[in-house]
Structure 1
């Protein structure tokens, strides 16, 4: 068991490692990008990555505080679901109504993997191999569909 400080240092070390691994890769538009803190450029739409004791995940989170607008965003993602699946090469889990760790309502489209731990450095290559292609694919997808969401 790790203290909070030790666990925080391990998590920080992982994300620094991930950032170094991703830094040379340009965005779909050919521009430098901060992959760890990816900015979608559309308020209330986030790409989130997480690595924890029992797995890792990557998600599109729609966190608009207005439930009606959040639903509209989710419906727009459903309208481009085939494009998303094509870009990712797989299906993700779709949740129209869920909450985050702070009990704030949101919609989430996510993919998770289990059996890896951020606290086992030997699992880091597997976590990176899980996150990297999906994040790059999300970036390509977003480059294509972002104008739809900017217009909302």
Structure 2
């Protein structure tokens, strides 16, 4: 078992390593971007990447507290389903209602990779090779897809 400090240190080390590895890549619009804390420019819409002792996760999360507004955003994202699938070159899981680890109800579109462990540095290359192309593809999708949300701002 790891202490709380060890867990925090290992996760920080992984995300720093990932950030350094992906930093040379510019966004689809040719700009420098903080890939680890990607900003969609849309309140309550996030690109999340996570890694723990069982899996790695990447997804689009809609966290608006108002259920009706969150549903509008989710429906708009569903309109872009084919565009997202084409950008990702794979199908992701869609969940209109999900309770995150804080008990907050959110909507999300995501994909996971099991069998990796962020606390085992030997699996870091697998986690990085899973997350890197997907966050880059999400950015490419978002460079066009974000305009579909302009009316919902």
TM-score under structure 1 length normalisation: 0.99
Alignment correspondent of 2:102: 102
Instruction: Give the count of matched residue pairs.
Output: 152
The Cα of 1:150 is off from its aligned counterpart by 2.5
Alignment correspondent of 1:32: 32
Secondary structure at the aligned position of 1:33 is classed as: coil
Secondary structure at the aligned position of 2:57 is classed as: strand
What residue ranges of structure 1 are gaps of 5+ in the alignment?
A: none
C-alpha RMSD of the superposition = 0.6
Alignment correspondent of 1:146: 146
Q: Displaced runs of 4+ in structure 1, greater than 4 A?
A: none
1:7 aligns with 2:7: yes
The Cα of 1:148 is off from its aligned counterpart by 1.3
What residue ranges of structure 2 are gaps of 5+ in the alignment?
A: none
Alignment correspondent of 2:41: 41
Alignment correspondent of 2:17: 17
Structure 1 Cα separation of the partners of residues 103 and 7 of structure 2: 23
The Cα of 1:115 is off from its aligned counterpart by 0.3
